[in-house]
Chains A and B, each alone.
Chain A
Amino acid sequence: MTTKGEKRIVSEEDKIFAKNFNIMDHPDIPTGLPPHLQLQRTRVLCKNDAPIHTASVSYSGAYNAVGVDNSVKLENFSENFKVDVIEISKDGMELTFDMIGIDAAIANAFRRILLAELPTMAFEKVFIANNTSIVQDEVLAQRMGLVPIAADPKLFEYLSENDQPNEKNTIVFKLHAKCAKGEGRKKVLTEQLIWLPNGSELVKESGDSNSKPKTYTSFSRSQKESFPEFADNPITPSYPDILIAKLGPGHEIELEAHAVKGIGKTHAKWSPVATAWYRMLPEVILLGEVEDEDAERLVKACPENVFDIEDMGNGRKRATVARPRDCTLCRQCVRQNYGEEVNKGVEEKEWIENVSLRRVKNHFIFKIESTGSLPPDVLFTEAVKILEDKCERVIANLS
């Protein structure tokens, strides 16, 4: 310290020290984010009235003031990103997995692509030759459209407006169901759809009687030849037991349905998933010891059975968090008196918040339910590939 009037002597050493001085190097300065900011950054807090800190902090310089770099670099991302497969259903069409260390912006892009931008095959044209059932033609056609077809869309091409339907872009099925008079009511199921590898059998009407009869498709050869994978196992709807219509005595349906390739953005019938969704990992924290009567009330209050009671000996009990993943965020445990009605006459206890409900912002429990044309793991990799293609296209456009 220099006092007034005294001349300050600044040595060369001091200058170098001052030049290299960085407050963050000082041992007394805490490094990293302060805990409350870390909590805001990584967790959504689900409070009694509303969730707070829901947005993710994406600006790279958000924490410059405390010397923390908030940018995600590819190396850090590669180090921290993790996928845990939780469950694949018995038929292989439902997949649950945890995606850890990724931002919602990208996870949501995957979800949106799964729903709307992955191609599948679906019935686009239904030629109804005869329909005497009580289901009207247009309703029947709409129902047919929603039937999922177990055919790999990668093998087929899009049918553009000027194209003739051919063996590369169209799959043809026929359906002929009849309920004779005197019989009981009958169900028409998807197993009755018959694949026509040679294309349409319906003959187009033409004034010229001499020319060869034309059908509604122009297949140059059988799909059994052009797609060797279908030679032995014919194309079918994904499930044989989907109800299309019910027939009463004397009713008949005769139709031909043409399936083409498309994406869910155009019409939901082309969506390859029944649904694809994610939720953030719930985190349930007990803020203090919850004991005895209070513990029992807490366990009873939770409809999903997240809490358990632990015996502490000498007759005392304590609540523990046993299954936080089951939490549906009903917030019953953070409500006053755990949402119980307070009896009149009984004095209301002072409310103390015992539980903190949180969601981990970068941990997604992802579930994909495929409609059956492709297994869900293939769908996900395809979705990621589509996002890659989008990026590539932008780069190509800019250079």
Chain B
Amino acid sequence: MEHGSFTNDSFASFTLAEEDHTLANAVRFMLNQDPRVTFAGYSIPHPSLECVNVRVQTTGDPAREVLKDACQELMLMNRHVRSVFDKAVSEFKVEQARLAAEEEKNKKAEEEELKKQRDLLASMDIESD
């Protein structure tokens, strides 16, 4: 819900229902990053109310559009975070699997080596007998 002025749309307050610090703080950060914004802030009017008030004042652009852009930007940021995270995790898992396989291989080689030595020792024993 928007609480603004009829004559000047460069400042307005918005009430976001069923939201809390989670979204409001992130949106506030995104708004502050926008050079068009002169002031951005948020407050929760009462702890038992499930809403936040976001205040946006701009250098002239409509506050509504600026807030929309901030949300859009945040959304694109999230999308990027997700793709980078997924890639990092799958790469890590592949690497882990490779390391595990290598370890297995080394273990097997070691065992074989031990067996060989044992056989050798056994054959030597026979010879000495």
Listed in ascending order, the chain A residues whose CB lies under 8 Å from chain B are 58-61, 69-72, 74, 77-78, 81-85, 88, 95, 97, 102-103, 105-106, 108-109, 112-113, 116-117, 377, 380-381, 384-385, 387-388, 390-392, 394-395, 397-399
Asked if A394 and B16 make an inter-chain contact with CB atoms under 8 angstroms apart, the answer reads yes
B contact patch SS: helix
Asked if B22 and A83 make an inter-chain contact with CB atoms under 8 angstroms apart, the answer reads no
Which B2-48 residues sit within 8 Å CB-CB of chain A? 2, 14, 16, 19-23, 25-29, 32-35, 37
Asked if A81 and B84 make an inter-chain contact with CB atoms under 8 angstroms apart, the answer reads yes
Asked if B84 and A83 make an inter-chain contact with CB atoms under 8 angstroms apart, the answer reads yes
Q: Which of B14, B22, B71, B85 contacts A117 (CB 8 A)?
A: B22
Q: Known contacts being A105-B28, A112-B21, A384-B82, is A74 close to B68, with CB within 8 Å?
A: no
Q: Which of B2, B27, B29 contacts A103 (CB 8 A)?
A: B29
Asked if B78 and A388 make an inter-chain contact with CB atoms under 8 angstroms apart, the answer reads yes
Residue B64 at the chain A interface, CB threshold 8 Å: yes
Q: Which of B25, B37, B80 contacts A109 (CB 8 A)?
A: B25
**For the complex, what is the distance from the CA of A69 to the CA of B23, rounded to whole Å?**
25
Q: Which of A81, A105, A392 contacts B26 (CB 8 A)?
A: A105
**For the complex, what is the distance from the CA of A97 to the CA of B82, rounded to whole Å?**
13
Q: Which of B21, B35, B64, B85 contacts A380 (CB 8 A)?
A: B85
Asked if A381 and B22 make an inter-chain contact with CB atoms under 8 angstroms apart, the answer reads no
Asked if A60 and B35 make an inter-chain contact with CB atoms under 8 angstroms apart, the answer reads yes
Q: Known contacts being A58-B33, A59-B32, A398-B67, is A384 close to B81, with CB within 8 Å?
A: yes
**For the complex, what is the distance from the CA of A113 to the CA of B23, rounded to whole Å?**
10
Q: Known contacts being A391-B71, A392-B75, A394-B71, is A83 close to B88, with CB within 8 Å?
A: yes
In the assembled complex, the CB of B63 is this many whole angstroms from the nearest CB of chain A, namely 10
Residue B89 at the chain A interface, CB threshold 8 Å: yes
Which B residues are CB-close (under 8 A) to A72? Answer: 33
Q: Known contacts being A60-B35, A384-B85, is A105 close to B68, with CB within 8 Å?
A: no
Residue B74 at the chain A interface, CB threshold 8 Å: yes
Which B residues are CB-close (under 8 A) to A390? Answer: 19, 22-23
Asked if B78 and A391 make an inter-chain contact with CB atoms under 8 angstroms apart, the answer reads yes
Which B residues are CB-close (under 8 A) to A95? Answer: 89
Which A residues are CB-close (under 8 A) to B119? Answer: none
Kindly name the residue among B2, B19, B92 whose own CB sees the greatest number of chain A CB atoms within 10 A.
B92
Q: Which residue of B lies closest to A97 (CB)?
A: B88
Q: Which residue of B lies closest to A69 (CB)?
A: B35
> Beyond the given A385-B82, A387-B26, could you list 20 further A-B residue pairs with CB under 8 A, ordered by the A residue number?
A60-B37, A69-B35, A74-B80, A85-B88, A88-B92, A88-B93, A88-B96, A105-B28, A105-B29, A106-B29, A106-B74, A108-B22, A385-B78, A391-B71, A391-B75, A392-B71, A394-B27, A394-B71, A395-B71, A398-B67
Which B residues are CB-close (under 8 A) to A97? Answer: 85, 88-89
Which B residues are CB-close (under 8 A) to A385? Answer: 78, 82
Residue B72 at the chain A interface, CB threshold 8 Å: yes
Asked if B74 and A387 make an inter-chain contact with CB atoms under 8 angstroms apart, the answer reads yes
Residue B76 at the chain A interface, CB threshold 8 Å: yes
Asked if A58 and B23 make an inter-chain contact with CB atoms under 8 angstroms apart, the answer reads no
Asked if A74 and B82 make an inter-chain contact with CB atoms under 8 angstroms apart, the answer reads no
Asked if B33 and A60 make an inter-chain contact with CB atoms under 8 angstroms apart, the answer reads yes
Q: Known contacts being A81-B80, A384-B85, A398-B64, is A106 close to B71, with CB within 8 Å?
A: no
Asked if B92 and A85 make an inter-chain contact with CB atoms under 8 angstroms apart, the answer reads yes
Q: Known contacts being A71-B33, A71-B34, A398-B2, is A113 close to B22, with CB within 8 Å?
A: yes
Q: Which of B1, B28, B74 contacts A391 (CB 8 A)?
A: B74
Which A residues are CB-close (under 8 A) to B1? Answer: 397
Asked if B32 and A112 make an inter-chain contact with CB atoms under 8 angstroms apart, the answer reads no
Q: Known contacts being A60-B33, A60-B37, A83-B88, is A387 close to B23, with CB within 8 Å?
A: yes
Q: Which residue of A lies closest to B85 (CB)?
A: A83
**For the complex, what is the distance from the CA of A391 to the CA of B72, rounded to whole Å?**
7
Which A residues are CB-close (under 8 A) to B29? Answer: 58, 103, 105-106
